[in-house]
């Protein structure tokens, strides 16, 4: 049975914003390794459209960006959207029955499946489907933006913590 994992970079004040702070080269390599090991990713429309950037080669990319693109392209993706009519390579649209589709996906797959984006994570949290939350805590204060928890924070229990970069801690929580 697959495990659904929601993980994102987060500021000290609880916001996620890939444009306002980005992972260091060391942390980016950590994310490459994570992507290589994932059984797939579930995206909402907005995050999926941002991530489609990795579908095309860019001549200015260094080896790490090429490695991430290769890992991202290889894995299966499921996109939750009411407005998209089609998706790119190795991707499938999730129908109207979000809960049924994700429960079936978890039952049919093994390994970790990434949940991408706070809005989608809120919906899956409300359905009790997320198995693990990974917060990559950065020493940055944003003051505003999209919160990591788009809805009420579920009751959680800390099960692991690790310094993954000089200034970044990975906090791992499971539903309590």
Query: What is the DSSP code (8-state) at residue 116?
Result: E
pLDDT at res. 104: 96
pLDDT at res. 19: 79
pLDDT at res. 110: 97
Domain 2-175 grouped into CATH 3.30.2040.10:
no
- CA–chain centroid gap for 34, Å, is 10
Domain spans, the chain: 2-175
- Give the whole-angstrom CA distance, residue 77 versus residue 1: 17
CA angle, corner 32, sides to 27 and 33, nearest 5? 95
Beta carbons within 10 angstroms of residue 78's beta carbon: 18
pLDDT at res. 67: 97
Helices (H), the chain: 25-37, 45-51, 63-74, 98-108, 118-126
Q: Which two tokens stand for residue 66?
A: 């090429």
pLDDT at res. 32: 97
Query: What is the residue-level pLDDT of the chain in tens, covering all 176 positions?
Result: 999 999 999 999 999 987 788 889 999 999 999 999 999 999 999 999 999 999 999 999 999 999 999 999 999 999 999 999 999 999 999 988 999 999 999 999 999 999 999 999 999 999 999 999 999 999 999 999 999 999 889 999 999 999 999 999 999 999 99
In sequence order, the 6+-apart residues with CB closer than 8 A to the CB of 3 are: 106, 111, 112, 113, 131, 132
Residue with tokens 């907005």: 46
């Amino acid at each position: 049975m697959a495990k659904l994992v929601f993980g994102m970079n987060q500021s000290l004040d609880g916001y996620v914003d890939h444009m306002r702070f980005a992972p260091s080269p060391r942390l980016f390599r950590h994310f490459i390794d994570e992507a290589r090991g994932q059984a797939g990713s579930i995206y909402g429309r907005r995050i999926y459209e941002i991530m489609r950037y990795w579908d095309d080669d860019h001549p200015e990319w260094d080896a790490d960006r090429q490695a991430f693109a290769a890992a991202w392209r290889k894995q299966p993706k499921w996109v939750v959207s009411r407005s998209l009519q089609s998706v790119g390579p190795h991707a499938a649209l999730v129908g109207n029955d979000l809960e049924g589709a994700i429960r079936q996906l978890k039952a049919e797959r093994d390994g970790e499946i990434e949940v991408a984006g706070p809005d989608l994570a809120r919906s899956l949290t409300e359905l009790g489907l997320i198995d693990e939350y990974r917060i990559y805590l950065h020493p940055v204060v944003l003051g505003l933006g999209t919160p990591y928890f788009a809805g009420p924070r579920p009751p959680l229990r800390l099960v692991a913590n690790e310094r993954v970069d000089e200034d970044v801690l990975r906090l791992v929580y499971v539903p309590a």
